[in-house]
Amino acid sequence: MIRTATAADVPVIHAMVRELAEYEKCLDEARATEEQLREALFGERPAAFAHIAESDEDGEPVGFALWFLNFSTWRGVHGVYLEDLYVRPDRRGGGHGKALLTELARICVERGYERLEWSVLDWNEPSIAFYRSLGALPQDGWTVFRLTDDALAGLGTARE
C-alpha cells in the first residue's frame, strides 16, 4: 500500500534516508535532521513531498519516495523530481518501488505534469535495470553539476 506521508512518519523517513546514504556509500554526507525534514515536508510552506510504502502484512513502513516540483521551460509545465526512492533491502522485490513510482506517475498524469525525473548512480545496476523495465530512459549527454560547502559559499559571497 502507498500513502501520503504524515508528520508522524518523519522519524522513519529520516532513518531510511540514512539507510539510503549508507547504501550509496555517502553516509557522512547525510546531515539532514528530523527537524529539517519536518519543516521541508510539513512546515508553513512545504518544499518537498513524500509517500510511504507499507508492508501488506503489518502496515509497517518499508520504503519511501521523497519528491518536489520542478519546471520545464521547454514544456511550459511542472514536473516531479524524485529526490529519493528507497525500499528496505529485506523488502525489495515485493513491488514496493514500482508502486511508489506508479503513484508519482499517477500524480503527474492527474495534474498535467509532463515529466517524472530522477538520478541514479552509474554503478547501481540493479536500479538501472529496474527503471529501464518500467520504460524509463537515461538522459545520455547530460552531466549533473553540484555546488556545495566551500565552493557554494565562495561563489555565493563573491563580489563582481
pLDDT at 95 over 90: yes
Would you call 55 helix, strand, or coil by DSSP? coil
> Is beta strand 61-72 parallel, antiparallel or unpaired with respect to 49-54?
antiparallel
Catalytic position from the list 23, 81, 113, 131: 131
Please state the rounded mean pLDDT for residues 54-80: 95
**pLDDT tens-digit series, residues 141-155:** 988 898 988 999 999
CA angle at 105 for the pair 35 and 19, rounded to the nearest 5°: 40
pLDDT in tens, 101-135: 999 999 999 999 999 999 999 999 999 999 999 99
Kindly report the pTM of this predicted structure. 0.92
pLDDT at 158 over 90: no
Mean pLDDT of 77-100: 96
Which residues are 80's β-sheet partners? 69, 116
User: Is 86 a catalytic site residue?
Assistant: no
- Summarised one tens digit per residue, pLDDT across range 11-54 is 999 999 999 999 999 999 999 999 999 999 999 999 999 999 99
